[in-house]
C-alpha cells in the first residue's frame, strides 16, 4: 500500500514523464536495477587522480602539475558563476551580488595560496624539470583568458599602446591581434609570433573569437552597468567589485610575479616572454572596472606593490 506522500510523488513523476513522452512504468522498472550511488562514482576521484603525469623523475614536478590543475578547477568554478550572470535574462541585483561574491572568494583563494608555488618547490629541481616544459607556459591557460573576456569590456584588455585605434566597430579579429597578451608572444617590430603564441592560437583562437563576441555584451562589467542606479551606487557592492578587480589584477599578478622572480631570477621564461616587463601590473595595466577607480588610483596602478 502506498501512503499519501508516495501517491503524490508518483503523480508528479508521471506528470514529468508524460510531458517528455516517456513511460513512467519503464523508468520505475529501471530503478529496480539501478546501482546505489557511491562517492567514487559521483565525484570520480579515480579519474581525477589519474591526471597527474610527470615528465621527469623529480618529485617537486608533482607540486607544479597539481597546483596548476587546482588553479584550472577553480577557474572552472569562476566561469561557472560568471556564465550564470552573463546568461541571465532578467538579472536582479541580489543574484549579481551573490555570484560576484562567489567569484571573488574563489580568486582570493588562488591569490592567497600562491605560496604553494613560491615556497613549495626546491629551486634545484624546478630548474631541471622546467627544461622539459619549454615552450609551454601557464600563459596558455584558455580558462584564464575566458575569465578575462567574461569579466570586462574588450577595450580594457587591449594593449595600452593601441587602445585609441580600437572601438566598438573594430572587427574581433583585429581586436584579438591587439590584446595585451599578444605582447608576450609577438615581436612588435617584425610581427613574428613565438611558438608559445602560435600553438596557443592554433588550439584556441576560434573559441576565443566566439567568446569575445558573446561576452562583448554580457561580461560582468557590462552587466553591472545595467543594474538599477541605486544598486550601482551601493558602497558595499562597489567595494566588492574593486576587491575582485584588485585581487585578479594586482594581488594574483604580484603573487605570480614574485614566484616567477624567485625561480627565474634574471633568467628566461619557458614561454620566452620579456616577462619582467610584461607581467608587472604597472606596465600591463589590466583593469577590469576602470570607472570604479579614481584618477589618482589609476595613475598609480601597480606602483606601490
Contacting positions for ligand HEM (CB under 6 A) = 67-68, 71, 117, 137-139, 141, 144, 181, 184, 256, 259-260, 263-264, 269-273, 275, 279
Nearest distance from C-beta of residue 275 to ligand HEM, angstroms: 4
In this complex, which beta carbon is closest to ligand HEM, that of residue 114 or of residue 224?
114
Nearest distance from C-beta of residue 139 to ligand HEM, angstroms: 4
Is the omega angle on the peptide bond into residue 73 within 30 degrees of 0, that is, cis?
no
Nearest distance from C-beta of residue 71 to ligand HEM, angstroms: 4
Nearest distance from C-beta of residue 5 to ligand HEM, angstroms: 49
In this complex, which beta carbon is closest to ligand HEM, that of residue 58 or of residue 237?
58
Q: What is the 3-state secondary structure (H, E, C) of the chain?
A: CCCHHHHHHHHHHHHHHHHCCCCHHHHHHHHHHCCCCCHHHHCCHHHHCCCCCCCCCCCHHHHHHHHHHHHHHHHHHHHHHHHHHHHCCCCCHHHHHHHHHHHHHHHHHHHHCCHHHHCCCCHHHHHHHHHHCCCCCHHHCHHHHHHHHHHCCHHHHECHHHHHHCCCCCCHHHHHHCEHHHHHCECCCCCCECHHHHHHHHHHHHHHHHHHHHHHCCCHHHHHHCCCHHHHCCHHHHHHHHHHHHHHHHHHHHHHHHHHHHHHCCCCCCCCCCHHHHHCHHHHCCCCCHHHCCHHHHHCCCCCC
In this complex, which beta carbon is closest to ligand HEM, that of residue 40 or of residue 80?
80
Nearest distance from C-beta of residue 145 to ligand HEM, angstroms: 8
Nearest distance from C-beta of residue 68 to ligand HEM, angstroms: 5
Nearest distance from C-beta of residue 77 to ligand HEM, angstroms: 14
In this complex, which beta carbon is closest to ligand HEM, that of residue 124 or of residue 236?
124
In this complex, which beta carbon is closest to ligand HEM, that of residue 272 or of residue 290?
272
Query: Is 140:196 a contact under the CB 8 Å cutoff?
Result: yes
In this complex, which beta carbon is closest to ligand HEM, that of residue 4 or of residue 190?
190
Q: How many CA atoms lie less than 13 Å away from 285 in the CB half-sphere?
A: 16
In this complex, which beta carbon is closest to ligand HEM, that of residue 104 or of residue 270?
270
Amino acid at each position: 500500500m502506498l501512503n499519501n506522500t508516495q501517491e503524490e510523488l508518483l503523480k508528479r513523476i508521471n506528470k514529468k514523464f508524460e510531458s517528455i513522452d516517456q513511460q513512467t512504468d519503464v523508468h520505475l522498472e529501471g530503478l529496480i536495477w539501478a546501482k546505489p550511488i557511491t562517492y567514487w562514482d559521483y565525484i570520480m576521484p579515480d579519474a581525477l587522480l589519474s591526471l597527474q603525469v610527470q615528465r621527469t623523475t623529480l618529485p617537486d614536478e608533482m607540486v607544479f602539475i597539481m597546483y596548476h590543475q587546482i588553479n584550472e578547477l577553480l577557474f572552472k568554478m569562476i566561469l561557472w558563476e560568471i556564465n550564470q550572470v552573463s546568461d541571465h535574462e532578467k538579472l536582479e541585483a541580489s543574484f549579481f551580488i551573490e555570484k560576484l561574491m562567489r567569484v571573488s572568494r574563489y580568486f582570493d583563494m588562488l591569490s592567497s595560496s600562491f605560496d604553494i608555488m613560491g615556497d613549495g618547490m626546491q629551486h634545484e629541481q624546478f630548474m631541471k624539470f622546467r627544461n622539459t616544459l619549454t615552450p609551454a607556459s601557464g600563459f596558455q591557460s584558455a580558462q584564464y583568458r575566458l575569465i578575462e573576456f567574461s569579466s570586462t569590456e574588450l577595450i580594457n584588455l587591449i594593449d595600452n599602446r593601441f587602445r585609441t585605434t580600437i572601438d566598438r566597430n573594430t572587427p574581433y579579429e583585429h581586436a584579438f591581434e591587439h590584446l595585451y597578451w599578444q605582447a608576450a608572444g609577438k615581436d612588435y617590430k617584425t610581427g613574428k609570433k613565438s611558438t608559445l603564441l602560435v600553438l596557443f592560437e592554433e588550439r584556441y583562437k576560434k573559441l576565443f573569437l566566439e567568446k569575445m563576441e558573446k561576452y562583448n555584451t554580457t561580461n560582468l562589467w557590462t552587466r553591472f552597468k545595467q543594474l538599477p542606479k541605486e544598486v550601482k551606487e551601493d558602497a558595499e557592492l562597489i567595494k566588492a567589485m574593486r576587491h575582485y578587480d584588485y585581487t585578479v589584477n594586482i594581488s594574483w599578478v604580484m603573487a605570480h610575479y614574485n614566484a616567477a622572480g624567485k625561480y627565474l631570477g634574471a633568467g628566461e621564461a619557458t614561454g620566452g616572454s620579456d616577462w619582467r616587463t610584461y607581467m608587472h601590473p604597472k606596465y600591463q595595466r589590466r583593469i577590469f572596472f576602470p570607472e570604479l577607480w579614481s584618477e589618482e588610483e589609476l595613475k598609480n596602478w601597480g606602483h606601490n606593490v
